[in-house]
């Protein structure tokens, strides 16, 4: 049985502070690098037919530290947070106390980063799933690994399970973790989620 393996990149200074990070290319902290290395034994347990990675440095560095020879896929970038880039949820709630990313989206940002709705992120996730599915069905066997970002991977998990993009809110995802989407009786299922390497 072939699975879809989701890897969230290691810790960055902004993931610690809670700042929304999409296009800002924030590097891994020392702890984030250690998290990346700790993923290697877990991923080595899998036969991998394809590994895809976000173009962002934090994801690519995590992939390398985890021993993955991954192909860059631009659709794996994080949710475009528009005007909320670098801003924490607490700060947003000062002016929008009822704001929820999963239902409200983001405030428009600069022309090159206007922000995305949950549905727009879902469209990108569906494209990644289609590419992963093609690799899973190619007859060679093996799992597909995706190394990317928290909110994007949460949307992708929701879409893979047949849920709307906004249901990604149900899946908490920490840095440096591995999750597995599998099948059971012909249906897509959540086999494991948010696993942190021991040690």
Which residues are marked as active site?
9, 78
How far CA 75 is from CA of 69, 129, 174, 182, 199, in Å, comes to: 18, 10, 21, 21, 32
Residue among 113, 88, 16 nearest 96 (CA):
88
Q: Give the span between the Cα atoms of 127 and 179, in whole angstroms.
A: 19
What does the CA dihedral 154, 19, 178, 155 come to, rounded to 10 degrees?
A: 10
Q: Give the span between the Cα atoms of 136 and 55, in whole angstroms.
A: 22
Sign, Cα dihedral of 111, 117, 120, 126: positive
Enumerate residues 6+ apart whose C-beta is below 8 A from 107: 82, 83, 84, 115
Under a CB-based contact definition with an 8 Å cutoff, are residues 72 and 93 in contact?
no
């Amino acid at each position: 049985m072939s699975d879809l393996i989701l890897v969230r990149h290691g810790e960055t200074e902004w993931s610690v502070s809670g700042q929304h990070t999409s296009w800002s290319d924030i590097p891994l902290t020392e702890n984030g690098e250690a998290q990346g290395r700790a993923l290697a034994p877990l991923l080595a347990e899998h036969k991998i037919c394809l590994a895809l990675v976000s173009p962002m440095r934090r994801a690519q560095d995590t992939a390398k530290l985890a021993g993955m020879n991954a192909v860059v896929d631009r659709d794996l970038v994080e949710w475009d947070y528009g005007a909320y880039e670098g801003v924490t949820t607490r700060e947003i709630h000062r002016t929008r106390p009822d704001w929820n990313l999963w239902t409200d989206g983001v405030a428009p940002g600069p022309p090159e980063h206007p922000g995305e709705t949950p549905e727009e992120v879902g469209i990108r996730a569906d494209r990644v799933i289609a590419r992963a599915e093609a690799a899973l069905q190619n007859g060679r066997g093996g799992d597909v690994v995706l190394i990317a970002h928290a909110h994007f991977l949460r949307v992708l998990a929701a879409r893979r399970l047949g849920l709307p993009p906004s249901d990604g809110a149900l899946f908490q995802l920490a840095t440096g973790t591995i999750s597995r989407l599998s099948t059971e009786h012909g249906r897509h299922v959540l086999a494991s989620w948010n696993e942190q390497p021991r040690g």
